Amino acid sequence: MALRGVRVLELAGLVPGPFCGMVLADFGAQVVRVDRTGVRGGTSYLARGKRSLALDLKRPRGAAVLRRLCARADVVLDPFRAGVMEKLQLGPEILQRENPSLIYARLSGFGQLGRFSRLAGHDINYLALSGVLSKLGKSGDKPCAPLNLLADFGGGGLMCALGIMMALFERTRSGKGQVIDASMVEGTAYLSTFLWQTQEMGLWEQPRGQNMLDGGAPFYTTYRTADEEFMAVGAIEPQFYELLIKDK
């Protein structure tokens, strides 16, 4: 496994962090989830391949245990808003002083800087601020978020995992750790690069839901079937569209 021997401490949080930790565990990393004391369940559905322990980081003894663990870890995954770990004396400045090779991955909605950095939010909020939500939905209807997949998982957990991979690679050259600032707003905006780079190609010149790739074309959309189910059609190329409409 590619990440065999990599030691990760995942501070328990909402789904983006546990998903990131699960991706690392799936590729061989030794992931230990640090839960809050007195809290049950919550992220157990994304705990595949992980071990866990419970610490009260607000108490000196719990914080001291985490510092000792971080002194031997390769990666620590912080899912909290800006300033939370600093208040606990567990920010990157302190932990990397004790372990200069530590990769400190910070995964939050709005990032560590700016006027929103200390605010709470959810997938739909990050999706809206990224600009992507304005592109999603049916013609003439309100924008509609595609579950919580884009910001939480794509722009958040998966982008953070990619940042950790790159930091691990860079460390093989410098021997030093990195601080990763993974913002779900910015990660989702990055995922949507194609949308904005193709504005002048005619792909998105019509209102939402009336373009070729968002349900506005008969050859790239969904249809209700005779048995009251649905089918997806994706026949963009002329030869495939011809086969689609051919009378058999």
Q: Can you tell me the distance from the alpha carbon of 160 to that of 188, in angstroms, rounded to the nearest whole number?
A: 12
Pairing outcome for strands 220-224 and 230-234: antiparallel
Instruction: Give burial (CB, 10 Å; 0-12/13-18/19+) of 112.
Output: middle
Pairing outcome for strands 50-55 and 30-36: parallel
Residue 144 exposure: Cα atoms within 13 Å on the Cβ side = 10
Q: Can you tell me the distance from the alpha carbon of 184 to that of 46, in angstroms, rounded to the nearest whole number?
A: 19
Which one, of 46, 126, 41, lies nearest residue 81 by Cα? 126
Which one, of 88, 83, 145, lies nearest residue 108 by Cα? 83
DSSP 222-241: EEE-TTS-EEEEE--SHHHH
Which one, of 8, 11, 162, lies nearest residue 91 by Cα? 11
Active-site annotation, residues:
122, 152
3 state SS of 50 = strand
Which stretches within 99-151 are classed as H helix?
A: 123-130
Report the number of secondary-structure helices (H) and strands (E) in the chain: 9, 8
